[in-house]
Amino acid sequence: MFGRLIRFGGYQVLEALKNGPVKISQLRSSVPLYGSAFDFVLSQLMLAGLVRRFEKDGEEYAELTDLGKRFPYYGGYGPDPGYGLFYGHHHHGHCRQW
């Protein structure tokens, strides 16, 4: 359940941040995640090192980290097969076994 929330919500947040820092209030209104779901996804992206949060002129902003800028995904439509944090669920009928 949370995997889908993080996967789809996370890609929407990454897509919204690809052009530079965005105010948290604007990000919250542009991404279709509400309340604690938005906070949960944003905190998971920060824990993964893809997004950082900072304060400027009394406003909170979010931006992609260097790792977040290099994170392989297809413009918000899912992970690049074989790469990324979410690989191994259902990609073209195979799973990577270690």
pLDDT of 40-98, one tens digit each? 999 999 999 999 999 999 999 999 999 888 877 645 445 544 444 544 454 455 555 55
Report pTM.
Answer: 0.70
Residues in CB range of 34: below 8 A, 6 or more apart: none
Residues in CB range of 64: below 8 A, 6 or more apart: 14, 17, 18, 50, 51, 52
Residues in CB range of 48: below 8 A, 6 or more apart: 85
